Structure 1
Amino acid sequence: MEFILYLALIILSTKVAGDLSVRLGQPAVLGKLLAGIVLGPAVLGWVHADEFISHFSEIGVLLLMFIAGLETDLDQLRKNWKASFAVAVGGIILPFIGGYGVAAAMGLSNTHSLFLGMLLCATSVSISVQTLKEMNQLNSREGTTILGAAVVDDVIVVVLLAVMMSLLGTADDSSLAFMFTKKLLFFVIVLFAGWFIVPLFMRFLAPFRVSEAVMSAALVICFGFSYFAELMGVAGIIGAFAAGIAVSQTKFRHAVEAKVEPIAYTLFVPVFFVSIGLNITFAGLGGQIIFILVVTVVAALTKLAGGGLGARITGFNTRSSLAIGTGMISRGEVALIIAAAGLESGLLLPEYFTSVVMVVILTTLITPPLLKLVFPAGEKAPNL
């Protein structure tokens, strides 16, 4: 019954910490992330990462991105596709150069330096999504550009990983070609399903004489798209985001949105926030503090500069470009997945794995306050 206690601690601590964070002028999500550090092995040791935490946090991040898709203005997304692409490309080139340069300067081999550069290219906007939502900016031009750039970024980084594993790791050329094909197939099928199948599926289940038929249909679509994304080598959060966009184009959008948020923000999303902090432990890191700090600074500045430059050359002013670049800083669960793949394939040295995880977590922690600082002011949304 330990997981029941975990849930009680997580729900209470994230709400208290979130409220304190807001009172101090910071986004609530920052307090929720810090709650994970306090509850976890780094401080109190009351909650430990286990299979339960892993499953609940996975559902939490999928629901978070599903909600982001529901609330995305598709017209705005179409208008800003050029900016999103430029932000994604800029946010890949500079971090790759910066990561490779730092690793090489610290004596890592060419192969390991290339992998660290590729790892820093990753972006996970799930934390940025929550922060923008709190600031009522998720549907702004800047917010939509960040979301679009994250999708492009994810695809490019996964392809880069496939290329690198083929050339330097354990994959072969046939698996590389197969992976390219799977990515293309994923987007074709999801586009078709979102346009034709999702509306039919929602209309088919809506009249069922059972409780919450519409909401159940929406969750089936969310988790179905996410599973298919993972199956095709694309991050599950991209599938959830696509599912949210598909459902948002139906007449059931507002009904689903009104009911999925209480489920997500009461139970699953708090576990996701706390799970990030649970990965932090200060044991045995004394010898790599310089490495962690330098790589974190490089990771943040290169993503900020690259994403911001991409926004600037596509028509955004300096303040908006800075906000967009900041929204791309968090590496989140995407980088953690890549780090695990690198460790398994020999592209990431085992002695650097924990340090890389710390870099990923630090970039995730600094993103909410930086976004609050640089984002153009707007009407504040209710805290969730």
Structure 2
Amino acid sequence: MLILELAVILFASKIAGDISVRLGQPSVLGKLLIGIVLGPAVLGIVNDTDILKEISQIGVILLMFIAGLETDMDEFKKSGKAAAFVGVLGIIVPLSMGYLAGLVMELSAIQAVFLGLLLSATSVSISVQALKEMNKLKSKEGSAILGAAVIDDILVIIALAFLMSMAGEDVHLGTVIIKKVIFFAVAILLAWKVVPIMLRKFAPLRVTETVISAALIVCFSFAYLAEFTGVAAIIGAYIAGVAISFTDYKHEVFEKIETISYSIFVPVFFTSIGVAVKFSGVGQYIWVIVALSILAILTKLFGAALGAKLAGFNWRSSLGVGAGMVSRGEVALIIAGIGLETKLLSNELFTVLVVVVLVTTIVTPPLMKVIFKDQQMEEKVA
């Protein structure tokens, strides 16, 4: 029963998050791990149902919306060069190494490219939470990670469309690019001209919480528009948050949306990642999982870090940025699903890659914690 499952998830995620913090780790790590315990992989108390996935989707959209609200645009503009370097090199290194790994695994050339492309994806929703807990979301590192995530998403999706057209799928590269250009053009125009007017018109309405409702309408509309045009919904939600951050309603929206989000939707999102894990049948591929997990972590970590270093960051900050890009999250899972559907991935390799994605997601928060903690200690000594 969904209502009982929600009660269990909320109770367990808060307790697990608290334990994680007491052990010196971000709370998100505890929420991810308790999801595995509650799900079919261990206790089977919570099932990976469609309605839980929908609630989880709302959670990640709201999380990125909040990240947009908190974005310091002055710092974001300064990090434009870093975001570009991190986004591009954070794709090139995993893509090339993933391709070589695919050839070693005796995959066809196009399957090897697909594997490399999947390992190039990134999802910063987990990183956003870790950055928030360390008060780093508004830092130059946080801005670089968020900016690079947008660039990463665009480049990976365009590359995926190109690969699908080569694989014989009915996907036209020109159409894909045009749809994305249209999305960003329309989103920027709406953010600039329509969003402020909409909030001002809603504010005087004689019903409760009109501004918050208007903000949610903007958030979900931008997320839908992004998904409809082939851009991740989280990018649309992030842009919506940035748009509202320029209005006079920023603080009111942030405070109430954060309350709504962290009381139910965001905990469900983090816990549901663990709930979705199924370990059946992966035992015989354990060494493949270990090898691909190490490859996925190191290539994104050092590829993105190299980009940050070339943009002028010191090595400690560069590694922090690289760590923030490690999690593959839902973006990689979406690509894996496409690969399974188009026969570019076998059922066995699909299962292996789902576990690899989970490993990168679990590793990201503690990795960021260690690097940024050391950085803060160095700054205090200096």
- Scaled by the length of structure 2, what TM-score is found? 0.97
Corresponding position of 2:289: 292
Letter in 1 for 2:241: G
Report the counterpart of residue 29 of structure 2 in structure 1. Answer: 30
Q: Is the 8 Å Cα contact of residues 84 and 152 (structure 1) preserved in structure 2?
A: yes
- What is the distance in 1 between the residues matched to 2:372 and 2:304? 14
2:118 paired residue number: 119
- Asked if 2 retains the 8 angstrom alpha-carbon contact of 1:169 and 1:345, the reply is no
- Give aligned-pair identity as a percent: 55
The 5-angstrom pairing of residues 88-167 of structure 1 reads 88-167=87-166
Name the structure 2 match of 1:256: 253
* CA deviation string 1:259-307 (max 9, x = no partner): 0011100100111011110121221111211111111100100001110
Task: State the distance in 1 between where 2:125 and 2:244 align.
Answer: 19
Is 1:329–1:367's contact at 8 Å kept on the other side of the alignment? Answer: yes
Decide whether the 8 Å contact of 1:169 with 1:347 is kept in 2.
no
Q: 1:5 Cα deviation (Å)?
A: 0.6
Q: In 1, distance between residues paired with 2:279 and 2:338?
A: 23
- Do the aligned partners of 1:21 and 1:30 also contact (CA within 8 Å) in 2? yes
Distance verdict in 2 for CA 1:57–1:3, change over 3 Å: same
Counterpart pick for 2:192 among 195, 207, 210: 195
Distance 2:283 2:33 in 1: 21
Is the CA contact (8 Å cut-off) linking 1:169 and 1:346 kept in structure 2? no
- Structure 1 residue 179 corresponds to structure 2 residue 173: no
- Cα distance in 2 for residues equivalent to 1:81 and 1:137: 17
Task: Report whether the alignment pairs 1:42 with 2:38.
Answer: no
What's the counterpart of residue 230 of structure 2? 233
Query: What residue number does 1:336 align with?
Result: 333
What CA distance in whole angstroms lies between the structure 2 residues aligned with 1:191 and 1:52? 32
Q: Name the CA distance, whole Å, in 1 between partners of 2:164 and 2:371.
A: 37
What is the aligned counterpart of 1:356 among 346, 353, 356?
353
Equivalent pair of 1:98/1:299 in contact (CA under 8 Å): no
Query: What is the rounded CA distance, in whole Å, between the counterparts of 1:107 and 1:378 in structure 2?
Result: 45
Structure 2 counterparts to residues 37-76 of structure 1, below 5 A: 37-76=36-75
Instruction: Give the match for residue 382 of structure 1.
Output: none
The CA distance in 2 between the partners of 1:187 and 1:82, in whole Å, is: 19
Contact 1:136/1:378 (<8 A) preserved: no
- Normalised by the length of structure 1, the TM-score is 0.96
Structure 1 partner of 2:214? 217
Instruction: Please name the residue that 1:368 is paired with.
Output: 365
Provide the alpha-carbon RMSD of the alignment: 1.1
Whole-angstrom distance in 2 between the partners of 1:280 and 1:191: 37
Q: Deviations over 1:28-54 (max 9, x none)?
A: 110011110010011111001001111
Q: What does residue 324 of structure 1 align with?
A: 321
C-alpha distance in structure 2 between counterparts of 1:44 and 1:349, whole Å? 28
Number of corresponding residues: 376
Find runs of 4+ consecutive structure 1 residues off by over 6 angstroms. Answer: none
Cα distance in structure 1, aligned partners of 2:310 and 2:175 = 35
Match of 1:10 in 2: 9
- Whether the 8 Å CA contact 1:62–1:236 is kept in 2: the answer is yes
Distance verdict in 2 for CA 1:24–1:48, change over 3 Å: same
Secondary structure of 1:22's partner?
Answer: helix
Q: Secondary structure at the match of 2:311?
A: coil
Residue 280 of structure 2 is matched in structure 1 by 283
Tell me, what secondary structure is at the counterpart of 2:120? coil
Match of 2:380 in 1: none
In structure 1, list runs of 5 or more residues that go unmatched: 380-384
The offset of 1:151, in angstroms, is 0.4
CA distance in 1, matches of 2:202, 2:376: 38
Distance in 1, Cα, partners of 2:139 & 2:78: 12
Say if 1:162 and 1:171, in contact at 8 Å, map to a contact too: no
Closer/same/farther in 2, CA of residues 295 and 169 from structure 1, 3 Å limit: farther
Deviation string 1:208-265 (CA, Å, 9 cap, x unpaired) is: 1101000000000000000000011000000000000000000000000010011100
How many Å separate the matches in 2 of 1:286 and 1:142? 38
Separation in structure 2 between the aligned mates of residue 7 and residue 278 of structure 1, nearest angstrom: 12
The runs of 5 or more residues in structure 2 that have no matched partner are 378-382
CA contact (8 A) 1:120 1:299 kept: yes
Question: Take 1:75 and 1:349, find their aligned partners in 2: how far apart are those partners?
Answer: 46
Q: Tell me the CA shift for residue 378 of structure 1.
A: 5.4
Aligned residues of 1:37 and 1:43 also touching (Cα < 8 A):
yes
